Amino acid sequence: MNQAPQLAGHLIVECLVAQGVTHAFGVPGESYLAVLDGFHKYRESIRFVINRQEGGAAFMAEAVGKMTNRPGVCFVTRGPGATNASIGVHTAFQDSTPMVLFVGDVASDQRDREAFQEVEYDSFFGPSTKGMAKRVERIDDPDRIPEYVARAFATAMNGRPGPVVLVLPEDMLTKTTAARPTARVEAVESWSDPGALRTLREMLLAARKPLVIAGGGGWTPQAAQALQRFAENWKLPVGNAFRFQDTFDNHHPQYAGDVGIGINPKLAARVRESDLILAIGPRLGEMTTSGYTLLKPPRPAQKLVHIHASPEELNRVYQADLAIHATMNAAARSLEVLTAPPDLPWSDWTQAANADYQANLQPQPLPGDIDMPAIVALLQKHLPADALVTNGAGNFASWTHRFFRHHGLAKGHKTQLAPTSGAMGYGVPAGIAANIVSGRVALTMAGDGDFLMNGQELATASQAGAKSIIVLLNNGMYGTIRMHQEREYPGRVESAGTQLANPDFVGLAKAYGYEGVRITRTEQFEAQLLAALERRQGTVIELMLDPEVITTRGTLSGIREAALKKN
């Protein structure tokens, strides 16, 4: 039975519903009014979440992509809307997260005249290994909307997941079409070559100090569980790549720790000492490799097995001894059936790796009335096991990175949302989106500078009926940059660009509809955390952190003194 034609803008929304999208994030614009009207038409099936800035909207969509392994969806208007959203697109690209950004554009008859807010999106988002998107396309024919949307979802999910940009001319959206959505697109699995698996087994049998580094996009609970069975069969130590700390259960006796910023020095030494690295999923980028020093390109000293969902990623930076093209679900399921011998020579090596991780959980004494390891221990004690822990970029994130322990995907839930792109301002919108879409508890760790980059999205949470708990570490500075300044140019403080004059964060939280409380001593925190968990609205818990406490291992004064001695 033929259905009546509808506006192209309405069809866009109907196609999203057909792809299983339940929430889209964005800032409204006159360039895509017909799509906004489509959200009204299909309001029983999909919700448009109104954001306060396009960067926050794009971060929310990226967070949903991380949580679900299906594209998070964001809508923005032309020009400034798209450029504001680019930070989320770049994060999705570097983090290998499926995402689709829709950009309302100038009308077709006004193109190439530098019309109001006109941007050339092919050039701006530039699909390439150095770009921000896997694909950029413009839809000029409304009858082809289902084709373009389905291809965007397939491109975003298949191979190495990532973002796709679809450009929507304003006049195209107001045309009518009788086209209807295509079927829901599913990601395609790429299976490991059986011959490569035999070679991998031979390499394992020849090893004495193997180490798994797991991470990257595309992991499911089933894949994480299969990885765990593989590691258990072969008694392998497993580390998680930078900001993918929920890939392997941190409570497991074979867990070796996170291979990222602020890496345990003993784990770093273990990576260098290993004679076989099994990198399952990560790109092995700058942060996971400590600036390409733990594994040195192009040919690492260690034997390297690199398993990745994208053939273009394999042998791009590192020439692996064995490169295997496979998606994470297929790779892990292939690995778990590799038969291990009854006796393996590295049991002591694996036990020592976990012992090093356990020892790294013991904190160093640091000054001030706020004991951050104790704060994280209270989070660990009271947050539910499926709580989502989010953060942006900054030294403040190192506290949860080092001391919080994820059960994660192996227990059925993704529990960490954090940007491997190093984008500040990610944690607040990510936590709000996580709560909106899943209803689970969302805990955001934020710094004062980081919070102010997207703190306005608390208004989005209040309007959407969502809540998150934000632990805001206020030390009055851009701490990470200050740390680097003290290492390289010690003693330049007043005019060096890192000191912050902050607002009243408690008052600001309340103005947005959150509760706000300020903590000056560790013993005040537990009661406020418990109250926040019970409260229907969101809460900002501001911690007044001693500026000296700049890392989990040392102080600003210590860094400065070491730099002055060196110079």
Output the 3-class SS for 189-247: CCCCCHHHHHHHHHHHHHCCCEEEEECCCCCCHHHHHHHHHHHHHHCCCEEEECCCCCC
HEC per residue, 487-501: HHCCCCCCCCCCECC
At 129 the pLDDT is 60
Residue 112's contacts (CB-CB under 8 Å, 6 or more residues apart) are none
Taking the C-alpha atoms of residue 491 and residue 322, their distance in angstroms, rounded to an integer, is: 48
Backbone angles phi, psi at 555, to 5 degrees: -120, 165
pLDDT score for 499:
86
Q: How far is residue 541's CA from residue 539's CA, in Å, rounded to a whole number?
A: 6
User: What single DSSP character describes residue 9?
Assistant: H
Q: Is residue 567 scored above 80 in pLDDT?
A: no
**164: three-class secondary structure by DSSP:** strand
Per-residue pLDDT of 426-439, as tens digits, reads: 999 999 999 999 99
In the prediction, which pLDDT does 490 show?
A: 85
0.85 cut: is pTM over it?
A: yes
What DSSP state is assigned to residue 168?
E
Nearest CA to 102 out of 148, 70, 42 is that of 148
- Quote the pLDDT of residue 131: 74
The burial of 359, by beta-carbon neighbours within 10 Å (0-12 exposed, 13-18 middle, 19 or more buried), is given as exposed
Instruction: Reply yes or no on whether the pLDDT at 263 is more than 50.
Output: yes
- Distance from the Cα of residue 109 to its chain's centroid: 39
Kindly report, residue by residue over 43-85, the tens digit of the pLDDT. Answer: 999 999 999 999 999 999 999 999 999 999 999 999 999 999 9
Give the chain's end-to-end CA distance (angstroms, integer).
80
For the stretch 158-186, pLDDT in tens is 999 999 999 999 999 999 999 999 999 99
**For the segment 318-337, what is each residue's pLDDT rounded down to a tens digit?**
999 999 999 999 999 999 99
Residue 253 CB-density burial (10 A; 0-12 exposed, 13-18 middle, 19+ buried):
middle
pLDDT tens for 111-156 read: 888 888 888 898 889 876 677 999 999 999 999 999 999 999 999 9
